[in-house]
A = this chain, B = another copy of it.
Amino acid sequence: MKKVLAIDVGGTKLIHAIINEKGEFLSEVGKTSTPKNISELEKTFKEVITKYENEVDYIAFATAGAVNITNTKVDSSTPNMPAGYNSLDFAQLSKKPVYVENDANAAAWAEYKVGAAIGENNNITITLGTGVGGGFIVDGRLLRGKSGRGGEVGSMKIQGRGRTCTCHRKDCFESYASGVGLKKTAEEIAQTDEIFKQSIYKSKTANEITTYDIIAGLKENDEYSKKVFNIWKEDLTVGLINITNIFDPESIIISGGMGEFINTKEIENAINSEIVVSPVKVKLAKAGNYAGMIGAALLACEKF
């Protein structure tokens, strides 16, 4: 059975493990922090690879950023990574074949192969964290587009409220449905709605209210927090309706930190009452925090 050294590259940390072609872990998960300059980063990659490459068939990276169509290089600017990251030729890092995939795509593949969407040939994994990521499985294959950059659902414009996203564009799905989006909605409602005057947070200024405050406020039955969270859910639902109508998927898998605050059945019902395609299931992700590594390892086994 094929073995893969899988490495997940995030802005703050690198994690790695040996994974077989069934997605099973054959080693402990190693962690280091992500070096802040490109030569240190490359050196760290080489150290990890040198240590394990004789034990494995392939090397697989799950990484932030858009990955090119040949799965060899990061093709976009990646603000959280060291400058020069998108010049790095991953294939040169090892004598074994090297495969690179975007982390959201890799996580979606893991959900499809060993997680919450097994056997569902049309499914979508949406990651709700600081931002919003998406991975799309169409007829059993990962949607990558002409250049490998496909799946940028966070940049879908869903509203006309004129909110500016961290990408400086207007009305991106990400600017509403992410954790940051929840905070922005909290600010918006604090500034415009009388309901804030009765809130447990009324002594704060609008921009002091955090995502965590709103989640905590729900448990306190704070009407302001409930209103903010409901608007956040409606905005999330609009985006999920859109992709359901286009992809007609069997399921939408919700991944990422915000997922734990969602009632999936409620979101599922809200989507299904609005769509023109057949009903979709909404489920929480199962492949866990290591989904990126697992998916990249499995994709490498498919490719090579």
Contact = CB atoms under 8 A, between A and B. Distances in A.
Contact of A277 (B150, B238, B241): B150
A246 B278 CA distance: 21
Interface in A124-176: 134, 136, 138-139, 141, 143-153, 155-161, 167, 169
B151 A246 contact: yes
A185 to B, nearest CB: 13
A247 interface: yes
B274 A145 contact: no
A236 to B, nearest CB: 12
A79 B225 CA distance: 43
A3 to B, nearest CB: 28
Size class of the A contact interface (CB-based, 8 Å): 35 or more
A245 B147 CA distance: 11
Contacts of A44: none
A157 B242 contact: yes
A122 interface: yes
Contacts of A152: 245-246, 248, 275-277
A250 interface: yes
A243 interface: yes
A246 B147 contact: no
A66 interface: yes
Contact of A145 (B141, B150, B248): B248
B248 A167 contact: no
A247 B155 CA distance: 12
B157 A247 contact: no
A276 B160 contact: no
A121 interface: yes
A248 B161 contact: no
Interface in A19-48: none
Contacts of A241: 155, 157
Given A122-B145, A160-B160, A246-B134, A276 B150 contact: no
Nearest 9 interchain pairs by C-beta: A145-B248, A150-B248, A160-B160, A152-B245, A149-B277, A147-B278, A155-B245, A156-B242, A159-B160
Given A138-B138, A152-B248, A159-B159, 19 more contacts: A66-B276, A120-B146, A122-B145, A122-B146, A138-B139, A145-B247, A146-B278, A147-B248, A149-B248, A149-B277, A150-B248, A151-B246, A152-B277, A153-B245, A155-B245, A157-B241, A157-B242, A158-B158, A169-B274
